[in-house]
Chains A and B, each alone.
Chain A
């Protein structure tokens, strides 16, 4: 490409000073090639600017707007969370603490389902675990009675003690005795300190007992003085009631 083409293009685009422009116009008069190039460059610019028009595309425009709206939405959320992080954390803490307090308040000093299930299922931490293989059930029940204080439960002749755990869970002393009957079936006898005498466990009322389920085991629960007792096992509710009847000292 000749240098004159570039100079002519600059002249057409208004990128030359007066002297340069005058020189090019002079060349046009003396050189037919320069004259033709000048007209062709003008023509090309005119053709492109008039024939190549902007392109509408409504669906694409709509897609762009949707993407911007989506970005804006996510930006807003991000900004809100960033700006109010402390407030949100605080609110969450209030909800957790408030919820806990409300739960306790609702239950009063009573014993709730969750607490009982944790103790029955062995999830509550025990301070003292004893293997009772060599001890008769009567000794185990004596120990249990000693640890419970006010309540007294009687050993059923047919029961053999396997182990006993003692501990405290959420401020309540508990004892968890594992026993087997003459058929080798295993049961849990759990005694939990409960000064309120309120036992808030889900289940069907049957006399003094509440018959329900915890951790996949059938349960029979009742209160006796300042202690709540639960007999749990993979047996029928009737068998558990029978067992509960047999160990209740106040029966």
Chain B
């Protein structure tokens, strides 16, 4: 095109920024929905909404802004849809969680032997509201304040959800380590 308009430049900028964060968005969508079709729909819809609102983006942190759009969309739409299936409603206060009984400390050998799929499966087994906080914190590197803003919840709730999510993961990984003989059961 010989002449580029303001909208052309806006679209170019959006595409550039979107491509850079796309793997993170796709990974987050897959981990939230646990379904590749739902994840694809979620990412597409988030892209469309973000492009629509791109003129209002403050230019500070595109990844955090995109993740906020994606998680909000997931919470408002996809989670609701998934809940209409057989998934029980999750209550943060009454959630059962594995209680670690081991005082043994994990070592790097366990980490080296863990496969990506095994960790993904352990993460997928974490109840959704805790999983979302852990994904945003430990995979996407968002701060507590950013997560609170993305999920529109108080920072105190973010702290609690991350701790509970990690406690669940600890339980799964402990079982894995015991099964493989890396740890002894008390």
Contacts and interface: CB of A to CB of B under 8 A. Distances in A.
Given A48-B134, A51-B114, A41 B170 contact: yes
B123 A43 contact: no
Contact of A5 (B18, B163, B173): B163
B73 interface: no
Given A33-B103, A47-B119, A68-B47, A6 B173 contact: no
A49 B11 contact: no
Interface string A212-249: 00000000000000000000000000000000000000
Contact of B104 (A36, A52, A54, A57): A36
A32 B11 CA distance: 56
A68 B15 CA distance: 9
B26 to A, nearest CB: 5
Nearest to A56: B23
A47 B173 contact: yes
Contact of A40 (B14, B24, B26, B170): B170
Contacts of B68: none
A127 interface: no
A65 B134 CA distance: 29
A36 B100 contact: yes
A64 B170 contact: no
A159 B163 CA distance: 106
Interface of B is mostly: helix
A77 to B, nearest CB: 12
B48 A61 contact: no
B104 A63 contact: no
A73 to B, nearest CB: 10
A63 B163 contact: no
B145 to A, nearest CB: 9
A72 interface: yes
Contacts of A39: 105-106
Nearest to B160: A6
Interface stretch (A8-16, A18-26, A90-98, A128-136): A8-16
Interface of A: 1, 5-6, 8-10, 13, 15, 32-33, 35-37, 39-41, 43-57, 60-61, 63-65, 67-68, 71-72, 75-76
Q: Closest 4 interchain pairs by CB?
A: A54-B23, A51-B119, A6-B163, A55-B27
24 contacts: A1-B163, A5-B166, A5-B167, A8-B163, A9-B166, A15-B159, A36-B102, A36-B103, A36-B105, A37-B100, A40-B170, A43-B170, A47-B169, A48-B169, A49-B138, A51-B119, A52-B27, A54-B23, A55-B27, A61-B22, A63-B40, A68-B47, A71-B48, A71-B51
